[in-house]
Every structure is written in C-alpha cells, then in structure tokens.
Amino acid sequence: MIRIDKDYTEFRDDNDPNYPGGKAVDAPTPDSIEGTPFMARWMNDVNGFRQAVFQRAFGSLDGVSGKPDHVNDSDTLDAITQMVADLIQEARPTDEYTFVIGSNAALAAWANNTPGNDYSRVLVKAGTWEFSIMGVMLGVPLIDISNGRTKSVVGEAGSVIVLSLHSQTFNNVGIRGPVTGELGSLANPGADFFFRNVSIRVVNRVLGGGLPGINTVFDRCANLTNCTVVEGDVPIRNGFDSCINLTNCASTVSSDGDSNGFVNCANLANCVGTGITSSTSAGSSGTGFDNCTNLTNCVGNGGSSSIGAATGFFECANLTNCTGTGNSSSNFGNGGLGTGFSRCSNLTFCVGGASSPNTLATFSFAGFRQCRTGFGNKALNMTPEGGADRCLMAQGSSLPTTNDWANTAAGGWNLVMPILVIPTTDLQPDIGMGEI
C-alpha cells in the first residue's frame, strides 16, 4: 500500500499517532489546493486491496458483480466472509469429525449405514468419491439420513460426491435429510444439523444404452452453505427440494419434464438456480426457483429447448435484489413462454428479463408476469409486452385486468427499461447504462 508520509503529497499530517503512516488533511478553504489530493495512486491502492481480498477468497475476479458495494450487497464483505469460513475450516482438527470419507469404500459405508461406525459428523476429503447404485431402486433415497444418524456433512475444497446409476433407476432422491412439513411450515431439525461445501454429481453408468433419471438431489435438508448440484449426464428434475436455510448454494439441472433448480425451499441467500426443460409438452417448464419463499440476492435462470416454458422464478414470495431470466427457444402456440418472474408476490429491487421467438402467443416473453406488489423492480426488455404483463400492486387471487407496474416516469413504482443501443464505432471504455 502507499504511505501518505512518503512521496504521495506534501499536504499531510505526520504527527497523529493514530496514523503512523501519515494522515490526509482537508484544504483550509473551498478554493485552496493545500489539502491531500485524491489521485489515481490512492484509488488504485484502495481498489487493489479489495481485488486482492476477492481473489484470495475465490481464486479469481470472475465472480465480481460489477456493481458498487452497499450495505445489503457487498463483494468485499462476501470475500472476507469466505476467507474467515475457510480459515475456520482449516483450523478444525480432524478428530472433530466422527467419520471421514476419503475413499469410495468409505462413501459406500456411510451411504449404506454400515454398522460399526459413528456417522454423526462426516468429513468429505478433497477428491472425487463415487457411490454406485447397482439395482433398480424406485422412489427411495440413495443416501438416507432422515433419522438423524448424521448431523453434519462438511466437504473439503475440491471434494465431489458422485452418485453413479448402473440401472434404469427413476424417481429417486440423492440424499434425504430430516426436515419435515411443507413450505410455510418446514421444521428445522436444529442448528447442529448442517451441510457445508458439499457438491454432488449424478452420472449414468448403464451398460448397453438406456438413460436413468433422478427426481431430487438434496431433499429435505437444512442449513446448507456452499452446496452445489454439479451438472452431470443424467436427467434431474429438482436440485434442491423442501430445503430450508440455504446460503451460496447452486443448482443446474435439466430433464425432458419439469426441471427446477430449487423447489419448495425457504430462506435462501445468494443462491443460483438453473432449470432447463427439453419437454415436448406445453405444460412442462424449466425454472430456476419454483414455489420458494424469502429469497435475497438470488439468481434464477429458466430455459426451454422445446415447447415448454422458461421461467426464472415461479410462484415465489418475498424476493429482494433477485434477478430472473427466462429464455425459451420455442415458437409453439401458447407454449414456450419466457418469463423472468411469474406469479410472484412482494418483490423489491428485482430485475426480470426474458426472450422467446414465439409470435403466436400474446405476451410471449415478459420480465414480470401476473405478479403482485412490487417496488423498484426493473424489466430489461424494451417493449411493453416484454416488460410487465398483468402485474398489480394489490394482492389477490384473481387475475388482473390492468397493469399498473410499468412506467416509473409516469408515476408508477416500477420500471420497464429500454435497451441502450450504442454505435459500434467510437466506443468509450466506460460507456454504459449507469445506475438507474
């Protein structure tokens, strides 16, 4: 870092013991230049520190938001929090865990609940560990800890659990935890039950062709931090289902039916959900977050490669600073709709975008569709059709017949943002839409 008391400037205070490296001073009058100047070296010093913190925490600057930090969304605070969590994890002695997964055999013992081991506190060592499911198992959890035999699962950096399906297995659950109840009454089993840094991939090992599938990867689990559903080669309907208290979790799933990154989950922060459908039925959809509640700083992506719908957030409630995108590639009747937020309620400072080539349906794409009660939201599409479709400030079950969300300039609460078109010549490096 630079030192003010060296060669930065002559306008400084070197005598304050609270600032042994020099202290900045104000100019004595508004017109005076005898104050500490704000120069590029100072800005680079401060920003260089913040870049160093982020890169140390996450390995690169790829995840930087590109937006100014504020009290509710700070890249720097996220990076410091991650570094503290990593240091705490590194400081934990191995003997804090009652069972260590460092081989395929150890993973199988935990999954099968092999007698003679204490599975209450599980550590997954760095590496890829595979659990093979050989028989046809329909509608059962592949790893069942719903009885509380395991309280916590912690993965080291670089650890991945692989569930390999060797037969035509469908409708299974990858791992089932002890959460009970339905959305709105999900019962947390307690703070001593948690998952941290657990990544799961599901793969196809069926010989001679055939494609198995799995219904849900994380089912009825609680207190999940940095947990990920890693995209594999098996159709997955749901990444996380009926889970509670999720932070920095991510899920990318796809199937030929409904696909949801997160469904029926509560209390989510900084999560990313992607659901992609290749269904040939207009009733199916690819959704990032379906029927979830209490979401902050989450990103939902919905995709459809056939005639299903694509929705970022569907029937979710209480959303703050969330971004939803629904991109459909279908031009089929009333199917293939693209929507950022559909039938959601209580949205604050959310951003919705969508696309669809469908020319046969009215409002084939919309940033917000049939939503209730929103403040400070932005639709990224240029046309009114692509902005807010039948969204009202009032609550109620009946479909609205008017749309009072759009057009902040005319006095509304929300904004349909025009797309900024910049000429391809004479581009300046700092040209952009700025803060809106």
Look at 324-338, 340-354, 363-377 and tell me which has the smallest mean pLDDT.
324-338
Residue type, 263: V
pLDDT value at residue 415: 59
Overall size of the chain counted in residues: 436
In the Cβ-directed half-sphere of 189, how many Cα atoms lie within 13 Å?
Answer: 24
Q: What is the pLDDT of residues 232-261, one digit of tens each?
A: 788 889 999 999 999 999 999 988 888 999
pLDDT value at residue 335: 56
SS3 at position 214: strand
Q: Report phi then psi at 117, rounded to 5.
A: -125, 150
Q: Report whether pLDDT(410) > 90.
A: no
Quickly list DSSP for 231-291. Answer: --SS-EEEEEES-EEEES-EEEEEESS-EEEEES-EEEES-EEEEEE--SSTT-EEEEEES
pLDDT value at residue 281: 65
pLDDT value at residue 396: 54
Average pLDDT rounded to a whole number, residues 310-323: 94
Q: What is the pLDDT of residues 158-172, one digit of tens each?
A: 999 999 887 666 668
Q: What is the pLDDT of residues 328-337, one digit of tens each?
A: 776 555 556 7
The pTM score is 0.71
Q: What is the pLDDT of residues 267-278, one digit of tens each?
A: 999 999 999 888
pLDDT value at residue 141: 81
Q: Which residue has the tokens 């809106």?
A: 436
Q: What is the dihedral of CA 144, 146, 148, 153, to 10 degrees?
A: 60
Residue 115: pLDDT band with limits 50, 70, 90: very high
Decide: 316 and 348 in contact? Cβ < 8 Å.
no
Q: What is the pLDDT of residues 181-223, one digit of tens each?
A: 888 788 888 888 999 999 999 888 776 656 677 889 999 999 9
Return d(Cα 177, Cα 219) in angstroms, integer.
6
Q: What is the pLDDT of residues 283-298, one digit of tens each?
A: 778 899 999 999 999 9
The residue among 409 and 131 whose pLDDT is bigger is 131
Query: Mean pLDDT of all residues in the chain?
Result: 80
DSSP-derived secondary structure letter, 417: P
* Identity of the highest mean pLDDT range in 50-59, 396-405, 409-418: 50-59
